[in-house]
Amino acid sequence: MASVELKSASAHSLDDLASICNRAFAGYIGRIPHHTAETMQKYITSSFVDLDLSRVFYVNNAPSGFALIAKRYPKFRLAAMGIVPESQGKGVGTAAMKLLVEEARVRGDAVFELEVIEQNTSAVHLYRRAGFETMRRLIGWECESPSPVGNVDESLEIERIPIQEVAKVLGEYGDPDLPWQLAGFSLGGYAEPSWVGFRLGAAYAVISNPEDDVVRHMSCFVLPERRLEGQATRLLNALFTKYPGKKWSATPLLPVEYSERLATKFGFRKMDLNQLQMRLNFEGMKSD
């Protein structure tokens, strides 16, 4: 196994971090944007990344990979991890992951979470060997010009509201184990400035600019006491009626248990790639 040294990411410039990230994700199975110093800073801020906790991996004094770690106590998240091509397949990831987990254990972290593309089998195996267990499957959905279903009450008027209002409600009533990107505390940070919130009755949604040809869907949520009443269906019916002829797309972040029934009702199909939400719980674990 390779001898790996971890150095704090805070000792590296944003240009260096962006360069290592771009090299590590060259040819990656999923769509990863090319980073600049500016976009790296934006990602760090929106993802709650702590550069003091994050690491750059060194092998023979050369940067060979990185791990960005987000903190929202008592949970920590592996926001991104990658190995540069010339160091892949040499045990660098395994050695680095072992060190990262040990650092987290020594810090006294309660929970370490991550999302990984399920079709990236080598990464999934890496995280399982490190002790992470699968919490749930995260699905992406897409549909060309979805049609409303059932009886549409055209008298219902959806209300356009700030994303922060959706985030507040989701933070108070949402599932505490949602992926970080969908959680109330981070919803505003992940959404672009052009994204908007909508409310109809007890249902809330966040989508990208509905005037675009492709509308990206980020969140749909119903207050707990009003679930199983068709509230989400009415909201989506209203949105598809108000903005017809669009392609709708949701990235692979939606828990299958929350999204599948509603997505299939409207004729959405699963994307080819999906993710696993994984967790390492340190409770009861002790250092060797």
For range 68-77, the mean pLDDT: 89
Q: pLDDT > 70: what percent of the chain?
A: 98
Token output for 216? 């990206």
Place of tokens 């089998």: 121
Mean of per-residue pLDDT scores for the chain: 92
- 208 or 284, greater pLDDT: 208
Q: What is the pLDDT of residues 163-220, one digit of tens each?
A: 999 999 999 999 999 999 899 888 877 777 889 999 999 999 999 999 999 999 888 9
Which residues share a beta bridge with 142? 249, 269
Class of 140-270 per CATH?
alpha beta
Write down the pLDDT at residue 285.
Answer: 57
Which candidate, 235, 209, 210, places its Cα nearest to that of 222? 235
The identity of residue 224, as a single letter, is P
Average pLDDT over residues 255-276: 95
Q: Which two tokens stand for residue 131?
A: 């002790």
pTM, rounded to two decimals: 0.92
Helix (H) or strand (E) holding 83: strand 75-83
> What percentage of the chain has pLDDT greater than the value 90?
81
The pLDDT assigned to 121 comes to: 95
What is the C-alpha separation between 278 and 136, in angstroms, rounded?
A: 7
- Residues 218-242 pLDDT 10s: 889 999 999 999 999 999 999 999 9
Q: Tens digits of per-residue pLDDT, 2-24?
A: 699 999 999 999 999 999 999 99
CA 97 to CA 103: how far, in whole Å? 10
Among the residue ranges 117-121, 192-196, 268-272, the one predicted with the least confidence is 192-196
132: amino acid identity, one letter? F
pLDDT number for residue 152: 78
Nearest to 19 by CA among 92, 84, 95: 84
Q: Indicate whether 286 pLDDT > 60.
A: no
pLDDT given for residue 288 in this prediction: 46
Q: Where are the alpha helices (DSSP H) in 25-154?
A: 37-46, 92-107, 121-129
pLDDT score, position 72 = 85
pLDDT at 91 over 60: yes
| CATH top-level class of 5-109 | alpha beta
Amino acid at 40: M
Question: Matching CATH topology for 5-109 and 140-270?
Answer: yes
What CA–CA distance (Å, rounded) separates 25 from 78? Answer: 15
pLDDT of residue 284: 54
Q: Kindly list the domain boundaries of the chain, sorted by start residue.
A: 5-109, 140-270
